[in-house]
Amino acid sequence: MRTLSLKNPQMRGSDVVRWQQFLLSRGFYDGSIEGDFDEETEEATEDYQKEMWLQVTGIVDQATLQRAIQDGFNPPSDSSSRPHYTTEPGVVLSTDVERLLAPLADLYYQETGADLVITSGTRTPRSQAEAMYTNMRNGADPRDLYRNHEAADEIWTAYNQEQRNRASRDDAIDALTSVIEGQVSRGVFISRHLQARGVDVRNRTMTSEQRHTFERLATQAGTRASSENEHREGPHYHVQF
């Protein structure tokens, strides 16, 4: 494991996550397990070093690491440096989201041995329009799927108008895009994916134990995994960072 310390920009990764978990389990840390080596983590490291009669540096050096391993700390293997999530084709994640998602996926992998599958990331009004157009073509009624019925109804009405006019796919999507753009400009988001920092995580392939684990880890990371059913891939978790 690399040497961890407070730096600018902050060190981040599954090793930091593990270190924070270790400090938490030993009562030295009560912050969130986000995988950022921040000031709180440094202070907790110093407290741990004091307690163990180590040199108090706030740096997780070899001496500290070795002592911690004797104490039950389990450093991550090198394989955990690869990201523990995969994305479906066409899914776009912002670097912000990648930065927040990676440690959550690492933790999930540590506990379950499985990777997360990201089925949706950030959407533009146009990609939202395309997704909804496809759903409506397949017989879905957005008023059943989206919480904001008024916004869904506006899109549904525009879609039916285009159908009556026998508009081409491209023209219909143009029309839906401008409806969605208008909503966004009024601060109305039919989907939270129109705002940055939303991702969908497939959960139909998770066991119920894996679901519990994921929900718990999301809460620990300061976010929440909510069940959603808005897209053609069926039920999934929506995570808003």
- Please give the residue ranges that form the binding site for Zn ion (CB under 5 A): 200, 228, 238
CA 125 to chain centre: 21
Cβ proximity to Zn ion: between 12 and 238 the closer is 238
Smallest distance, Zn ion to C-beta of residue 107, A: 20
Start-end of H helices in 91-237: 95-112, 125-137, 142-145, 149-164, 169-185, 208-220
The answer for residues whose C-beta is within 8 angstroms of residue 112's C-beta and 6 or more apart is: 209, 210, 213
Cβ proximity to Zn ion: between 34 and 228 the closer is 228
Cβ neighbourhood burial of 187 (10 Å; 0-12, 13-18, 19+)? exposed
Cβ proximity to Zn ion: between 168 and 226 the closer is 226
Give Dmax (Cα) for the chain.
Answer: 79
Given the DSSP bridges, would you call strands 85-87 and 116-120 parallel, antiparallel or unpaired? Answer: parallel
Cβ proximity to Zn ion: between 23 and 225 the closer is 225
Smallest distance, Zn ion to C-beta of residue 222, A: 18
Measured CA to CA, the distance from residue 142 to residue 89 in angstroms comes to: 23
Smallest distance, Zn ion to C-beta of residue 167, A: 28
Given the DSSP bridges, would you call strands 198-202 and 236-240 parallel, antiparallel or unpaired? Answer: antiparallel
Smallest distance, Zn ion to C-beta of residue 173, A: 20
Cβ proximity to Zn ion: between 48 and 146 the closer is 146
Smallest distance, Zn ion to C-beta of residue 132, A: 13
